[in-house]
Structure 1
Amino acid sequence: MATTDPTAFTVIIPAHNEEAVIARCLNVLLADVPADSKMQVIIAANGCSDDTVAIARKVAPGAVVLDLPVGSKTAAMNAANREALYFPRIYLDADVQCSYDSLQAVAQVLREPGIMTAAPALRMDLSRSNWLARAYYRVWLTQPYVKRALVGSGCFGLSKAAYERIGDFPPITGDDIWVYSRFSETERRNIANDAEGRPVWFLVSPPRRAIDQIRVETRRRLGNEQVLRDYPSPHYAGSNNAGDLYDALHEGASVLDVLIYLAIKAVVRLRVRRVKRKRKDIVWERDLAAREV
Structure 2
Amino acid sequence: MLETAPFTVIIPAHNEEAVIARCLKNIFDQAPPGALQVIVAANGCTDRTVEIAREAAPEALVLDLPVGSKTAAINAANLRADHFPRIYVDADVECGYHTLVALAEALAEPGVMTAAPAIRMDLSRCNFLMKAYYRAWSLQPYARAGKGGAGCYGLSAAALAAVGEFPPIIGDDIWIHTRFPDEQKRFLARDRHGQPVFSVVYPPRTAREQVRVEARRQNGNAEVKRLYPSPYFANANNGGGLSAALRSGAGPIDLLIFFAIKFAARTLARWNRQRGRGSTWTRDLSTREA
TM-score by length of 2: 0.94
Query: Equivalent of 1:178, from 175, 184, 199?
Result: 175
Q: Do the aligned residues in 1 keep the contact of 2:169 with 2:279 (CA within 8 Å)?
A: no
In 2, Cα distance between equivalents of 1:235 and 1:148: 16
Q: Which amino acid aligns with 2:244?
A: D
How has the CA–CA distance of structure 1 residues 292 and 280 changed in structure 2, closer, same or farther, with 3 Å as cutoff? closer
Which runs of structure 2 are paired with 1:18-29 in the superposition (5 Å)?
18-29=16-27
- For residues 197-238 of structure 1, the C-alpha deviation after alignment (integer angstroms, 9 at most, x for no partner) is 211111000000000000000111111100000001121234
| 2:76 is the alignment partner of 1:46 | no
Q: Do the aligned residues in 1 keep the contact of 2:119 with 2:146 (CA within 8 Å)?
A: no
2:88 paired residue number: 91
Which runs of structure 2 are paired with 1:213-252 in the superposition (5 Å)?
213-236=210-233, 237=235, 238=238, 240-249=240-249
Q: What SS does the corresponding residue of 2:248 show, helix, strand or coil?
A: helix
Q: Do the aligned residues in 1 keep the contact of 2:141 with 2:239 (CA within 8 Å)?
A: no
Q: Do the aligned residues in 2 keep the contact of 1:218 with 1:271 (CA within 8 Å)?
A: yes
1:15 paired residue number: 13
Q: What SS does the corresponding residue of 1:170 show, helix, strand or coil?
A: coil
Q: What SS does the corresponding residue of 2:51 show, helix, strand or coil?
A: helix
| 2:149 is the alignment partner of 1:159 | no
Q: What SS does the corresponding residue of 1:81 show, helix, strand or coil?
A: helix
Q: Once structures 1 and 2 are overlaid, which stretch shifts more, 137-146 or 56-65? A: 137-146
Gaps of 5+ in 1: 1-5
In 2, Cα distance between equivalents of 1:239 and 1:108: 28
- For residues 67-106 of structure 1, the C-alpha deviation after alignment (integer angstroms, 9 at most, x for no partner) is 0000000000000000000110000000000111110110
In 2, Cα distance between equivalents of 1:125 and 1:151: 14
Q: Which amino acid aligns with 2:204?
A: P
Q: Once structures 1 and 2 are overlaid, which stretch shifts more, 187-196 or 23-32? A: 187-196
In 2, Cα distance between equivalents of 1:242 and 1:280: 28
Q: Which amino acid aligns with 1:138?
A: R
In 2, Cα distance between equivalents of 1:153 and 1:227: 19
Q: Once structures 1 and 2 are overlaid, which stretch shifts more, 282-291 or 19-28? A: 282-291
Supply the RMSD in Å over aligned alpha carbons. 1.4
Query: Equivalent of 1:143, from 140, 144, 154?
Result: 140
In 2, Cα distance between equivalents of 1:262 and 1:149: 21
Q: Structure 1 residue 242: deviation in Å?
A: 2.6
Q: What SS does the corresponding residue of 1:98 show, helix, strand or coil?
A: coil
Q: Structure 1 residue 240: deviation in Å?
A: 4.2
Q: Which amino acid aligns with 1:30?
A: F
Q: Which amino acid aligns with 2:223?
A: Q
Q: Structure 1 residue 156: deviation in Å?
A: 0.2
Q: Structure 1 residue 107: deviation in Å?
A: 0.3
- Once the two structures are aligned, what percentage of the paired residues are identical? 54
Which runs of structure 2 are paired with 1:174-213 in the superposition (5 Å)?
174-213=171-210
Q: Structure 1 residue 138: deviation in Å?
A: 1.4
Q: What SS does the corresponding residue of 2:213 show, helix, strand or coil?
A: helix
In 2, Cα distance between equivalents of 1:60 and 1:218: 34
How has the CA–CA distance of structure 1 residues 229 and 279 changed in structure 2, closer, same or farther, with 3 Å as cutoff? same
In 2, Cα distance between equivalents of 1:189 and 1:147: 14
Q: Do the aligned residues in 2 keep the contact of 1:153 with 1:176 (CA within 8 Å)?
A: no
2:28 paired residue number: 30
Q: Do the aligned residues in 2 keep the contact of 1:149 with 1:185 (CA within 8 Å)?
A: no
Q: Structure 1 residue 149: deviation in Å?
A: 4.8
Q: Do the aligned residues in 1 keep the contact of 2:118 with 2:187 (CA within 8 Å)?
A: yes
Query: Equivalent of 2:62, from 65, 80, 101?
Result: 65
How has the CA–CA distance of structure 1 residues 235 and 156 changed in structure 2, closer, same or farther, with 3 Å as cutoff? same
How has the CA–CA distance of structure 1 residues 146 and 153 changed in structure 2, closer, same or farther, with 3 Å as cutoff? same
Q: What SS does the corresponding residue of 1:67 show, helix, strand or coil?
A: strand
Q: Once structures 1 and 2 are overlaid, which stretch shifts more, 283-292 or 9-18? A: 283-292
Q: Structure 1 residue 281: deviation in Å?
A: 4.5
1:113 paired residue number: 110
Q: Do the aligned residues in 1 keep the contact of 2:215 with 2:268 (CA within 8 Å)?
A: yes
Q: Which amino acid aligns with 1:244?
A: A
In 1, Cα distance between equivalents of 2:280 and 2:242: 30
- For residues 27-56 of structure 1, the C-alpha deviation after alignment (integer angstroms, 9 at most, x for no partner) is 111111123x43000000000000000011
Gaps of 5+ in 2: none
Q: Structure 1 residue 65: deviation in Å?
A: 0.6
| 2:263 is the alignment partner of 1:266 | yes
Q: Do the aligned residues in 2 keep the contact of 1:126 with 1:206 (CA within 8 Å)?
A: yes
The number of equivalent residue pairs is 284
TM-score by length of 1: 0.93
| 2:112 is the alignment partner of 1:130 | no
